[in-house]
Structure 1
Amino acid sequence: MSETTPSEQKAASTSLGDLLGEVTRNLSTLMRQEIALAKAELKETATTSAKGAGMFGGAGYAASMVVLFLSLALWAGLAYLVGWGWSGVIVAVLWAIIAAILFVVGRAQMKKVNGAPQTVETLQEIPETFKRNEENR
């Protein structure tokens, strides 16, 4: 014979109305806590995302200034060696490589965004809690 759990003993000695009231209060408290956790995690995620977006913006501005001035200088310098047309192609290929590097760095920063992993984890535990209580019946 299995022993009765504390929750089964309480259920046997408490009215249905009181039990439902307690369940309602507990669920309400749990939901408020989950919402507070989600807000905190999303605020942290938004901060990290804003930093990544700022990096993208700064990289874009810096890249445009560098492209403008160094491209003109490099194009003019290479024109003496290979001609104006080919020097323009060489400069364009160089900046395409730099753009790819900036993209990879920015993407790595955005991958650091976690979302709300703790909230997701704890919300997944709620149905499991109900299943455990149903199994004890």
Structure 2
Amino acid sequence: MAAGAVLTLVVLRRRYLVVDVTGPSMTPTFLDGDRVLVRRMPGERVRPGQVVVLEGPELPAELRALVPRAEPLGLLLKRVAAVPGDAVPAYVAGAPALVPDGKLVVLSDNPAAGVDSRFVGLFSTAGVAGVVLRRM
């Protein structure tokens, strides 16, 4: 019986992830301190409107002074605005007309409090950990 329970836990950990929300960037959808259940999924399978957990980019030098830390941003919670083949919204500076393969446009639900594609451009689909299923 114990082996079955261990196997079940291993399978669940491969499919799901629990993430603590920090910061106000996804307010009002998710609040600082919320915990969310994330289904692991490759970035190529996400769709516009879904909230994803993904790796933050290395910040350009001009933005490092605006963010209180110089290291990469770590895992972020963001809403997918456009996927490969979609038109790139006008607010994403310096991007091509269409989202290229392997890239995403992601936004904060609270634009005044988040670092997203408006500031750092396109994000990599390879950095996607999964899609948020629900608040816990």
Please state which band the TM-score falls in when normalised by the shorter chain: under 0.3
The TM-score normalised by the length of structure 1 is: 0.26
The TM-score normalised by the length of structure 2 is: 0.27
Q: Which has the larger radius of gyration?
A: 1
Higher RCO (Cα < 8 Å, 6 or more apart): 1
Q: Which has the higher strand share?
A: 2
